[in-house]
Amino acid sequence: MMSYEAYMSQVIQPMRDELTRNGFQELRTAEEVEQTLPNAKGLTLVVVNSVCGCAAGLARPAVVHSLKHENRPDNIYTVFAGQDKEATAKAREYFEGYPPSSPSFAIMKDGKIMTMIERHQIENNDLQTIANLLTNAYDTYK
């Protein structure tokens, strides 16, 4: 019989792949987050990925679409809430002033949080509106 962890790993792999095949680097441990986020130069986008329907139907497609914008982040990373728990918790330490939210998008500049696009802004909007929230943030903080 397959373990729960093995089953979940198999189920969520396509959710990970949707971002990594579009250039996102997964940060899967707290150490990777610590080595990466505070030292990232320029504009950084961190996707807090999730298994929920709004991540699949809205967040991931919108963020991939947003990368076609002329002003795009210098660095694109992802952590997976509920799966890579330590990495996600560590990443959230850098999102000062924002409550945990997944899915969500953190916009950082030179290792500091600039803004977040939180779940409540994702789940009640359409794909183009979410992509516009992202591209407006890229333009504002680039």
Active site residues: 52, 54
Contact 137, 115 (CB under 8 A): yes
Rg (CA), the chain: 14
Q: Is-contact 82 92, C-beta < 8 A?
A: no
**End-to-end CA gap in the chain:** 50
Sign of CA dihedral 52, 12, 16, 62: negative
Strands (E), 30-136: 43-49, 75-80, 104-109, 112-117
Cα separation of 17 and 20, whole Å? 5
